[in-house]
Structures are given as structure tokens and as C-alpha cells.
């Protein structure tokens, strides 16, 4: 479609066509992710756009772009065709069905977060094309509306997040469950395509946002602990649970995240902070074995108190330089502005220039999964309805 496409490379989902009747984060993220992997993705919206068409952040008139284009919408719809239709009319509904059904062997796939519409239900579509694949994203496990913020509130993470001593919940800023749900959706559709190509069978897939969060929290142990242990974990502020990791202020007032996962990391950390003898003495006095990550975790506060003065008396540049010369895992906290200003995107071939109408030229990322040395980029988002004529 644009300079971003690698015309000479057959992408893994080449020949697959997805119709997406979607809005917000999870469902459009599923589509852009599949587009990066090579699928043709057609997003269908009602005339005038869905509820997310003007969503913040929007352009503010810089970068040779008009005011008010949704950076959110364009970012999540990169590499897709855009079709609009009156979804309440018979003609509009028939157009959507034909887009799904008359689309060759790699087609017959619908992804939607607007379920419950009889006219595009799995049963209705399967009656005309037996091998249809539908994926319906839901909110709550029971199908009731729910969004990332309400699902997260119900799950336990916000009450463990935040500064120590802050008892109120702290929401995450990254809509992590939306992202995770969108990726599960992309995975489920791809797995269903593989099975269909093996067996000829379609799939009716249902994926509730709440179940996504519950499943991850179960697999990672958060929902197992309260069932099998007498005590659940408590909030540890910025300290990493179960091993040694925390953040320190430098002499310049910046903060640096430091993680010592292995005995070697930890040894390097005591050496560079000049605390090797003090840490050994404390370990002996407390009966702690700091070659064990459990003991590094349990005694993290005394360890952090020993390390903090070195950080507080060295400039950020000195701290970064000493950490970089060691095995310790460390990173200065940056803002998004810092990331851009420091040239992190410009120096990473994951990013390439994208001239997005309404937003202007900027660096945009490919799929993080590099295939055979190829970064899988896609072109810009089409304007709302840009391909409506083409698919009549």
C-alpha cells in the first residue's frame, strides 16, 4: 500500500481477509496486528464513524496537520481499508455480510465488539458459508458491558499499585487488558484460520475482556495464592515482588529503576555502590543468604537503605554510566517526550516514517515480531469511508 510494505516478502497471513466491525481499543488492535502480519483488514463503521472516531488524543494543529484528528483512531486503524455503511438498513447489513462471505478461501472472517446483532450473528453467516470464522469481543464474562478500567477495578491490581502507604487504588494508565484482549483475539483468529485450512471447519469464538484479565491473573498466580495460601501478597510500592528491584533518586533528582535478578547482578550492585562489606556484615548479622533471591527480597528495605546514598550522591550521568558498565538491569525513568527527544525511535529500525493524512509525518512502529529480518510495517489509516465505493 505504501513505502512501508515489503512487497517482496510473503507475510505469514498473506491471503487472509478480515472484516472488522469494531471500535475502541481491543478489537481495532486485533485488526492492525493482523494487518501487520499480512492480512487484508477492512474496518466497517456506521456512516459518520463509531463512538471512537474523535477520541483523544487529537492533533493540536502542529506538524502541518489540522486540529482535531484523532491520533488514537488513526493509530489503531493503520494498514486497514475503511468502509462505512448504514448498519440499520437492509442494504448496509447485506453489504457487510457480502464483504465477509464473498471473500475467497482466506476470507469469511468477522471480528467484532458489536455482538448481539442478529443480522451478522455466527449462525446467520454460517448458514451461507459453513466455514465462517467469527470472533466476538465481549465486556463482562456474562456479556454485560465492561471496559478496561472497570475490569481492572474488579480484579485486585489497583489496590496493590501505588506508593507504599497509599491505601487508595491506583489505576494503570496503559489499558493493559484492552491490549492483552486484542492480542488474544488476533491469536485466536489466526489459530482458527490454521485449523480451517487443515480441516475445513469454521469457528465461533467468544472472548470477554473480563475473562482475559481473569485468565492472565490465574496463570500468573494472583488468583491461585488466595485459594491455597493463608496470606496473600501485600503492596510493595515500586519494589519488585519476590526478588530484588526498586528505584532510587540520583543527585539530579531523576529516578532510576534497578533490578538484580541473579547473584551476579547483586554482586555487581554492591560493588558499584561500594557496599560489599556492609552488605556482607548485614547478611551475617541477620542470618540472610543474599545469593538467594528470597533473602534479597525479604531484606530489601535494609539493602535499599545501604544502596541509596551512592545513588543520591552521584549525578544521573554518573549513575547511568556505572550501571551500564555492570551486569545490573537498570533504566532511568523517562517521559514519552524524553523517549522521542532522545532519538530512541529514530535509531530503532522498528520505526519508519509514516505520512498519516490528518496527523502528518511521524515515526510509527511495525509489529514487534521481526520475521526473517523483516520489520512488518503497514501504511496509514484510510480516511473514514475511503474504500466504501471500492467495495460496493
Residues with catalytic function = 178
Candidates 376, 350, 362, 379; CA nearest to 57 is: 362
Binding range to its own copies, per CB under 8 A, among 89-97, 113-121, 141-149, 309-317? 141-149
The answer to whether 53 contacts its own copies (rule: CB under 8 A) is: no
Using CB under 8 A, which of 2, 6, 47, 55 touches its own copies?
55
Q: How far apart are CA 355 and CA 360, in angstroms?
A: 5
Residue 79: how many other CB atoms lie within 10 Å: 26
The answer to whether 352 contacts its own copies (rule: CB under 8 A) is: no
Cell of 234: 501485600
CB of 65 to its own copies, least distance (A): 6
Which residues in 217-246 contact its own copies (CB under 8 A)?
Answer: 217-233, 235, 237-238, 240-243, 245
CB of 281 to its own copies, least distance (A): 26
Of 281 and 346, which has the nearer Cβ to its own copies? 346
Cell of 71: 491520533
CB of 392 to its own copies, least distance (A): 30
Which residues in 265-304 contact its own copies (CB under 8 A)?
Answer: 293-294, 297
Q: Are strands 67-70 and 58-60 parallel, antiparallel or unpaired?
A: antiparallel
Using CB under 8 A, which of 1, 187, 251, 282 touches its own copies?
187
How many degrees, rounded to 5, is the angle at CA 88 between CA 85 and CA 89? 75
Binding range to its own copies, per CB under 8 A, among 94-102, 109-117, 307-315, 370-378? 370-378
CB of 84 to its own copies, least distance (A): 20
Whether residue 113 contacts residue 51, with contact meaning beta carbons closer than 8 Å, is answered with: no
Would you call 216 exposed, middle or buried from its count of C-beta atoms within 10 A (0-12, 13-18, 19+)?
middle
Whether residue 51 contacts residue 89, with contact meaning beta carbons closer than 8 Å, is answered with: no
Which residues in 95-134 contact its own copies (CB under 8 A)?
Answer: none
Site string for its own copies, 62-91 (x = CB under 8 A): xx-x-----xx--xx-x-------------
How many degrees, rounded to 5, is the angle at CA 135 between CA 26 and CA 390? 85
Q: How far apart are CA 53 and CA 51, in angstroms?
A: 6
The answer to whether 306 contacts its own copies (rule: CB under 8 A) is: no
Distance of CA 222 to the CA centre of its chain: 20
Binding range to its own copies, per CB under 8 A, among 42-50, 82-90, 200-208, 276-284? 200-208
Distance of CA 158 to the CA centre of its chain: 18
Binding range to its own copies, per CB under 8 A, among 93-101, 109-117, 363-371, 383-391? 363-371
Q: How far apart are CA 178 and CA 209, in angstroms?
A: 7
Of 29 and 95, which has the nearer Cβ to its own copies? 29
Amino acid at each position: 500500500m505504501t513505502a512501508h510494505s515489503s512487497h517482496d516478502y510473503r507475510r505469514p497471513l498473506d491471503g487472509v481477509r478480515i472484516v472488522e466491525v469494531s471500535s475502541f481499543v481491543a478489537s481495532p488492535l486485533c485488526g492492525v496486528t493482523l494487518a501487520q502480519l499480512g492480512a487484508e483488514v477492512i474496518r466497517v463503521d456506521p456512516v459518520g464513524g463509531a463512538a471512537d472516531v474523535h477520541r483523544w488524543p487529537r492533533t493540536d494543529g502542529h506538524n502541518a496537520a489540522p486540529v482535531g484528528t484523532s491520533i488514537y483512531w488513526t493509530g489503531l486503524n493503520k494498514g486497514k481499508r475503511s468502509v462505512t455503511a448504514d448498519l440499520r438498513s437492509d442494504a448496509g447489513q447485506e453489504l457487510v455480510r457480502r464483504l465477509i462471505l464473498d471473500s475467497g478461501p482466506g476470507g469469511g472472517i468477522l471480528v467484532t465488539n458489536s455482538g448481539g446483532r442478529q443480522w451478522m450473528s455466527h449462525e446467520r453467516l454460517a448458514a451461507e458459508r459453513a466455514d465462517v470464522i467469527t470472533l466476538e469481543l465481549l465486556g463482562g464474562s456474562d456479556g454485560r458491558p465492561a471496559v478496561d478500567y472497570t475490569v481492572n477495578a474488579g480484579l485486585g491490581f489497583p489496590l496493590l499499585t501505588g506508593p507504599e502507604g497509599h491505601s487508595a487504588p491506583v489505576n494503570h494508565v496503559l489499558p493493559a487488558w484492552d491490549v492483552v484482549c486484542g492480542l488474544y483475539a488476533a491469536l485466536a483468529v489466526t489459530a482458527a484460520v490454521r485449523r480451517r485450512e487443515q480441516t475445513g471447519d469454521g469457528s465461533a469464538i467468544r472472548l470477554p475482556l473480563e475473562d482475559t484479565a481473569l485468565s492472565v491473573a490465574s496463570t500468573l498466580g494472583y488468583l491461585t495464592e488466595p485459594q491455597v495460601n493463608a496470606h496473600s501478597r501485600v503492596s510493595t510500592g515500586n519494589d519488585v515482588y519476590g526478588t530484588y528491584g526498586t528505584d532510587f533518586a540520583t543527585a539530579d533528582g531523576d529516578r532510576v529503576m534497578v533490578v538484580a535478578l541473579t547473584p551476579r547482578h547483586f554482586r555487581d550492585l554492591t560493588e558499584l555502590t561500594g557496599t560489599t562489606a556492609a552488605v556482607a556484615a548485614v547478611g551475617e548479622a541477620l542470618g540472610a543468604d543474599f545469593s538467594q533471591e528470597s533473602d534479597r527480597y525479604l531484606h530489601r528495605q535494609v539493602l535499599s537503605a545501604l544502596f541509596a546514598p551512592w545513588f543520591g550522591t552521584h549525578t544521573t550521568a554518573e549513575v547511568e554510566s556505572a550501571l551500564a558498565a555492570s551486569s545490573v538491569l537498570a533504566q532511568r525513568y523517562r517521559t514519552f517526550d524524553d523517549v522521542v527527544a532522545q532519538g530512541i525511535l529514530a535509531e530503532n529500525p522498528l520505526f519508519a516514517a509514516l505520512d498519516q493524512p490528518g496527523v502528518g509525518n511521524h515515526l510509527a512502529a511495525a509489529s514487534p515480531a521481526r520475521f526473517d529480518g523483516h520489520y512488518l510495517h503497514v501504511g496509514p489509516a484510510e480516511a473514514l469511508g475511503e474504500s466504501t465505493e471500492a467495495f460496493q
